[in-house]
Amino acid sequence: MQKIEAVIQPSKLDAVKDALVEIGVEGMTITEARGHGRQKGHTEFYRGREYSVDLLPKVKVEMVVKDEMLEKAIQAIITAARTGKIGDGKIFVSKVDEAIRIRNDERGEIAL
């Protein structure tokens, strides 16, 4: 089982969700996040004071998938989220030791 964490542009959330559901990934957790990579921020003005804001709004999509699904899921995310400009985001993959369904104690891949 592999965990995929994808930090993407908020405007790409719907496209990414639809693409994942289409290939059979049914469970995911989505959080509002702020961050940046090499993307520069912007300045905001309040009552004449300049504030440089480098924490930009992002969305983080997390999911745990079967090993066989990993590449398909990654490709689905990339196709849906890419614009070609700086700020598109990143995907991180890590191994998951265990998955458990709280409702009925199911463990392993069937819990996904």
Partner 1 sequence: MRLSVVKVFVSLLLVLMAGGMVLGGTAAMAQTAAATTGTSTAGMSDSARLSALEKQQADNATAIAAAQSAGDNSWMLVSAALVLMMSGPGLALFYGGLVRKKNILGTMMQTFAMMAVITVLWALVTYSLAFGDGGGSLHAFIGGVHNAFLHNVGLTPDKDYAGTIPLQTFMIYQLMFAIITPALITGAFAERMKFSGMLVFMVLWAIFVYSPMAHMVWGKHGLLNASLGGMFPTLDFAGGTVVHVTSGVSALVTALYLGKRLGYPKVPMPPHSVVLSFIGACLLWVGWFGFNAGSALAASSLATSAFVATHFGAAAAAIGWSAAEWIRQGKPSALGAISGCVAGLVAITPAAGFVTPMSALWIGLIAGVVCYLMVVKVKAMFGYDDSLDAFGVHGAGGTLGALLTGVFANSVINPIFGAGKPTGLLEGNGHQLLNQIVGVAIAWSISIVGTLVILFVVDKTVGLRVNEEDEREGLDLSQHGEEGYDWAH
* Binding residues vs partner 1 (CB under 8 A): 44-49, 51-52
Q: Is the Cβ of residue 45 or residue 105 nearer to partner 1 in the bound state?
A: 45
Nearer to partner 1, 17 or 60 (CB): 60
Residue with the two structure tokens 């990654």: 74
Which CB sits closer to partner 1, 30 or 70? Answer: 30
- How far is Cα 53 from Cα 64, in angstroms, rounded to an integer? 32
Q: How far apart are CA 96 and CA 108, in angstroms?
A: 10
Q: What are phi and psi of 41, to 5 degrees?
A: -85, -150
Q: How far is the CB of 1 from partner 1 (least distance, A)?
A: 29
Shortest Å distance, C-beta 32 to partner 1: 11
Phi/psi of residue 96, each to 5°? -110, 130
> What is the nearest approach in angstroms of partner 1 to the Cβ of residue 36?
16
Tokens (6 digits) for 5: 């964490």
Nearer to partner 1, 42 or 90 (CB): 42
